[in-house]
């Protein structure tokens, strides 16, 4: 695992849009591997919750016979949380503001997840 390389990918992702508030790479067991998050957000909590949500998304998709989930999206009053697999062993969690252009965010996050998969 190359934390510097993962952090560089996150920096590029976060700078790709003014609406991305932060991002983190999380292992399947909820450990944060790299992150660039606002200072008021606990990266350990993000890691644990992102892993739990990704796991739940997989179970729901399997149970409903919908195949492998590509992303999990939570829309809230103040923004979005987007989870995308970054290989078999990690999840990329991205926080975006409520005015985010989701199409562009989805493209940027997908590219970043592919880069992270190569690193991990």
Residues facing 76 on adjacent strands? 79
The CATH fold assigned to 3-119 is: Beta-Lactamase (3.30.450)
Report the first-to-last Cα separation within the chain, whole angstroms: 5
Q: What is the pLDDT along the chain (120 residues), one digit of tens a residue?
A: 699 999 999 999 999 988 999 999 999 999 999 999 999 999 999 999 999 999 999 999 999 999 988 899 999 999 999 999 999 889 999 999 999 999 999 999 999 999 999 998
* pTM of this structure: 0.94
Provide the pLDDT for residue 1: 67
What are the sequence ranges of the domains in the chain? 3-119
CA 103/CA 29 separation, integer angstroms: 29
Contacts for 18 with CB less than 8 Å, ≥ 6 apart: none
């Amino acid at each position: 695992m190359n934390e510097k390389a993962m952090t560089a990918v996150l920096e590029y992702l976060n700078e790709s849009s003014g609406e991305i508030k932060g991002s983190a790479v999380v292992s399947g067991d909820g450990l944060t591997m790299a992150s660039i998050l606002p200072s008021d957000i606990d990266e350990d909590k993000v890691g644990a919750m992102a892993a739990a949500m990704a796991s739940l998304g997989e179970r729901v998709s399997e149970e409903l016979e919908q195949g492998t989930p590509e992303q999990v999206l939570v829309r809230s009053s103040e923004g979005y949380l987007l989870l995308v697999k970054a290989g078999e062993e990690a999840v990329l969690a991205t926080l975006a503001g409520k005015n985010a252009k989701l199409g562009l965010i989805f493209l940027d996050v997908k590219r970043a997840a592919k880069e992270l998969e190569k690193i991990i």
